[in-house]
Amino acid sequence: MLIDLKENSICTECGLCREVCPVFQIYHQEEYSPRGRAILGTTGIQTLIYYQCTLCRTCRVVCPIGHDPSGETLRSGLIAVGVETPANQTMIANIRQYGNPFGLLAEGEIPKTLTCC
Amino acid sequence: MMDRLESLLQPDQVSTQEETRVAYSRDASRIQGECRAVVWPETVTDVVRLAQWAAETGIDLVPRGAGTGLCGGATPQNSVVVDSARLRQMDVLNIQLKQVVVEAGVPLDQLNMNLRSAGLFLPVIPGSHRSATIGGMIATNAAGLHAVRYGRMANWVENIIVVNGNGQVQCLAGSERSNSAGWEGITGMIVQATLRLTECPGKRSLTLLSFENLRIMLDQIDTLKTNPELSAMEYVNPNAAIMVGWAAKHTLLIEYHNSDGEIKDPEEISIIWRGRESLSARLTQAGYPVSEDPQIPPEAQEEILGWLFAQEIPVFGHLGVGILHPRFLPDDPRIPELYGRVSVAGGRINGEHGMGLKKRRWASEALKKDFHALKTQFDPHHVFNRGKLC
């Protein structure tokens, strides 16, 4: 019944990171907590939940072993298999086409929409 | 059946998504189970509906707090997990009576932070205090770092509101509280409680004592306990001490709620406590992921602690109340040997983590008898936490 601990050898899954996570404070669902994302990361599931992380790394500060949940690594795994949010796709397209994440802007125009991941 | 479950609650209160089921398939014990769905009740009525649905369908419900338990108490077994994370109301603080009414999903640290301005706090502080919820602490009758002064969670509960396996809402007060506190959710889901509080300590100080000889250390304990301001007595054995960079000796961390300790600087005290509180995760990282929690009577502590040390097993814990946390590799044959020694000595195999799935094979006949009597009274259809404890 005990999982093979090599499956998630870095995160001890103690759950002490939950309450400091700003995303968990909104959803109150385990899959959006740093521990939840770490568990999902070990299963090979490619999910847009990995984008639901502010990369603030407060979880690393409170983690008793200083584990960094590596949100960037999880996201790069998504990119590698072509899983992106529509907002992310728009942002990248805008950067490529217009050289900025906002899209076409007239001279002096202040952007009204910021699309990002 | 899952369609009917979804119709009971709002769409955002139920999930059968793979990501959700995977994230809820185990707790901090890392005992893996199978999760059918997760629900997030927002009211007592939601929990009542869920209990009625479960009784009708035969699918069991697993109440879950923060998932910080170490015995698989919140691990589902083809079950629906009922997460209390949205039951976070803190209702009434009665300063005169020093009581507060809270819902089950309130995290301990959040509660104590809110109480700070009133100069009050709930003094039961388990190692998982950052995340641990009030419901989970009542269900496991948590002890923790300051049990030597403040006792266990049941001492601080005035009444408990539970939804039992028949879908009835019950208020358990007086002697009836013991039908829920410490029973790991098998008599129903805890949804609310009235808690007793105490004044925050004005001062804190610490003393670290190191001993080459275990017997000499144990001889000091009774004397140390005579100080009425003693608030923690934590032990770290030499095998564990070196893991946090401390000298490889039998070490006692003694905290007082006055200036009797040698270390008075709050920052230094905080650093030492952080080192102590990081021990659990650091021992997991160092290859000792299985945490046991025997409660060893004083007369057997020299024999059992000596045996653990000789076996090179890292140990830390709340020596002031005899609850210790030796750490092992999974399936270490010395675990049953330890519990054999503890049982012979008249100790408890479940000092503070509960029985969950992990220890049910060691359930005593007396525990099984009490379990069946409580199930008959509160949960005859085995709706809540089926297969746990016994």
Average pLDDT over residues B160-177: 97
* B330 three-state secondary structure: coil
Say whether pLDDT at B307 is over 90.
Answer: yes
Chain-centroid distance of CA B202 in Å reads 26
Put simply, the answer to whether B32 touches A29 (Cβ < 8 Å) is: no
Give the confidence band of A65 by pLDDT, cuts at 50, 70, 90: confident
Q: How, if at all, do strands B61-64 and B77-83 pair?
A: parallel
Class of domain B2-85: alpha beta
Please enumerate in sequence order all residues whose Cβ is within 8 A of that of B271, keeping only pairs 6 or more positions apart, or say none.
Answer: none
- In total, the C-beta contacts within 8 angstroms joining chain A to chain B are 109
**Is A5's pLDDT higher than 70?**
no
ipTM of the complex as predicted: 0.92
Chain B residues with beta carbon closer than 8 angstroms to that of A12: 28, 280-281, 284-285, 289
Share above pLDDT 90 across residues of chain B, in percent, rounded to a whole number = 90
> Which secondary structure element, helix H or strand E, spans residue A7, and what is its range?
none
* H or E, element range at B208: strand B205-211
Residue from the list A30, A49, A65 with its beta carbon closest to the beta carbon of B285: A65
Q: What is the DSSP string of B161-176?
A: EEE-TTS-EEEEEGGG
Q: Which residues of B fall below an 8 Å CB-CB distance to A?
A: 15, 18-20, 22-33, 38, 40, 66-68, 72, 75, 83, 85-86, 88, 107, 109-110, 128, 130-131, 277-278, 280-282, 284-285, 289-290, 330, 357
Percent of chain B with pLDDT over 70: 100
Q: How confident is the model at residue B99 (pLDDT cuts 50, 70, 90)?
A: very high
Written as one letter, the residue type at B97 is: L
User: pLDDT confidence of B217, banded at 50, 70, 90?
Assistant: very high
A1:B130 CB<8 A? no
Say if CB B127 and CB B323 are below 8 A apart.
no
- pLDDT grade, residue A7 (50/70/90)? low
Mean pLDDT of chain B: 95
Q: Which CATH number fits domain B90-200: 3.30.465.10, 3.40.50.880, 1.20.120.330, 3.30.350.10?
A: 3.30.465.10
DSSP string, B40-102: ---SHHHHHHHHHHHHHH---EEEESSS--SSSTT--EEEEEEEGGG---EEEEETTTTEEEE
Residue, of B287 and A21, whose pLDDT is higher: A21
Q: A28 and B86: CB-CB below 8 Å?
A: yes
Q: Can you give the pLDDT at residue A2?
A: 66
Region B59-73: what's the mean pLDDT? Answer: 97
A39–B72 CB contact, under 8 Å: no
A69, A83, B212 from A49: Cα distances, Å: 13, 11, 51
- Best residue in B12, B13, B17, B19 to probe A by mutation, most A CBs within 10 Å? B19
Enter the tokens of residue B94: 């009665």
The DSSP line for B107-149 is: BHHHHHHHHGGGTEE-----TTTTT-BHHHHHHTT---TTHHH
Query: B226 to chain A, minimum CA–CA distance in Å?
Result: 33
Sign, Cα dihedral of B351, B329, B240, B249: positive
The pLDDT of residue A71 is above 80: no
Write down how long chain B is: 390
Residue B129 scores a pLDDT above 90:
yes
Residue A111: pLDDT over 90: no
* Burial status of residue B51 (CB atoms within 10 A of its CB: 0-12, 13-18, 19 or more): buried
* Residue B235 bridge partners (DSSP): B252, B317
Among candidates A3, A17, A28 on the partner chain, residue whose Cβ is nearest the Cβ of B40: A28
Residues of chain A positioned with their CB less than 8 A from the CB of B66: 15, 18-19
> Does A3 contact B357 at a Cβ distance shorter than 8 Å?
no
Task: Check CB contact under 8 Å for A63 and B281.
Answer: yes
Given this model, what pLDDT does residue A44 score?
Answer: 86
Contacts of A68 (CB under 8 A, 6+ apart): A57, A60
Shortest CA distance from B22: residue in chain A: A40
pLDDT of residue B93: 87
Residue B189 has pLDDT above 80, yes or no: yes
pLDDT band of A70, cuts 50, 70, 90? low
pLDDT at A85: 86
CA pair distance B133, B111, nearest whole angstrom = 9
Kindly state the average pLDDT of the residues B367-375.
96
Q: Which residues of A touch B75 (CB under 8 A)?
A: 1
- Tell me what the pLDDT averaged over chain A comes to: 87
State how far residue B22 is from chain A, nearest Cα, in angstroms: 7
Cα(B175)–Cα(B171) distance, integer angstroms:
12
Q: Is the pLDDT of residue B312 over 90?
A: yes
pLDDT of residue B172: 97
> Closest by alpha carbon to B66, among B156, B137, B144?
B137
Instruction: Inform me whether the pLDDT recorded for B278 exceeds 70.
Output: yes
Q: For chain B, which residues make up each domain, given as ranges? A: 2-85, 90-200, 205-344
Q: Do B357 and A1 touch (CB under 8 A)?
A: yes
What is the CA B280 to chain-centroid distance, rounded? 14
